[in-house]
Amino acid sequence: MGLFDIPARAPGECIINIGSGEITDLYPFLIEVAVDTSRLEFTEAVLKFETRRDVDGTWIIHDDPRIRPWAPILIEAAFGDTTEEVMRGYIRQIDVEFPEEPGSATVTVTVQDDSLLLDRLHRTDTWGEEGARVSDADILGRMLFEVNRSLANGVSDGQSDLILEQDETDASFLKKRAEANGYEYYFREGELYFGPRRLALAPQDPIMVYAGPSTNALSFSVKDDGHQPDGARFDIAAEEGEENAGEDLRPDLPLLGPEAASSVEQVDDRFVWRIQREGDTTEDSARARAQAKVNDASFKVKATGAVDGARYGHVMLVGKPVYVDGVGDRHAGTWYVDVVNHRFDLSGYRQEFEISRNAYGDNVPPGIGPNAGPLGGL
């Protein structure tokens, strides 16, 4: 194949495939694409088109046979001759608006990831029984088998020895089980991740702030919340006639920098929550929920911002670490990506992010950042 056999894509260009092919002919009518991703929610996208009536009376967008509920859809970002997936799923809803001005008709297409398959059947069931209790992994395996989906590598078993009642859709039940374990849950490339933060993964390419020609950040803001506890006191049920015992819980996640983000480094008191068991939850389940709250509270340093997608050159992924450089010794280093909202419109490709950290200190390795390269120190 020759150099010019395939046209080059503009950096940060949005590619949309519906059904078996790309909707190239509909791109001139596409106004914007917004995709919201989170490590604690399922992914949703909104595609907004302007539409026109053809000479035969049909409308270009909503009369197109490809634009139908439950049509499979894949949204990617192109960076030259490479593409990276932003999301995949199904068309969930189509809204058509005919305002007073005839030339202002629009079609809004709402898309949901593969979790939509788990949100159809309202299941009334009991998982496990005495002598045959189940784990979260057992439940997930059956749910995903029924919709022909699989678990991602690295998924955890969750809690075991369970007997659980379900009276809701699988998607709603899954969200509750993730909260009970303190887990992340999201679909990526058709696979479900259900497990703890994966802080040991290799960090993504850096967010560069005030880095001269290497700058890719459009904005960056840090919030360091000192009013979050460093631990918790967890009540344990005692024998009849005795007072409840207590157990001290501390964060059990690795640090993303050389110094822990402590709330009490300037004072001598112990700043902890007191967490009590709720209802008839088992001790193991209550402890797991309490530990998750303690771990969440340890991520005291949070940041929001945006990068130019073309300059960043990648799709930033939730549930993975990312380097940040150019913001000083205290806040530069490894962060964890909680939320990324992708925006494609006439102004380009913008990625708005929320990230967090449980530590201070610059641990970006040499060779990464604005001073990388043979002339970096000059």
Backbone torsions φ then ψ of 167, nearest 5 degrees: -140, 60
Closest CA to 104 of 145, 53, 146: 53
Mean pLDDT by runs of 10 across the 378 residues of the chain is 47 92 96 97 97 92 97 96 96 96 92 96 93 92 93 83 93 92 93 94 96 95 85 63 66 93 58 59 75 89 97 97 96 97 95 97 80 40
Burial string for 30-64 (b: 16+ CB within 10 Å, else e) reads beebbbbbbbebbbbbebbbebeeeeeeebbbbeb
DSSP 297-328: HH--EEEEEEEEHHHH-S---TTSEEEEESS-
Distance CA 197, CA 290 (A): 16
pLDDT at 237: 58
220 CB burial (10 A radius; 0-12, 13-18, 19+): buried
Return d(Cα 277, Cα 294) in angstroms, integer: 14
pLDDT of residue 286: 75
Q: Quote the pLDDT of residue 263.
A: 63
What is the predicted pLDDT for the residue at 22?
Answer: 97
Among candidates 254, 233, 214, 248, which has minimal Cα distance to 370? 214
CA distance linking residue 14 with residue 35, whole number of Å: 11
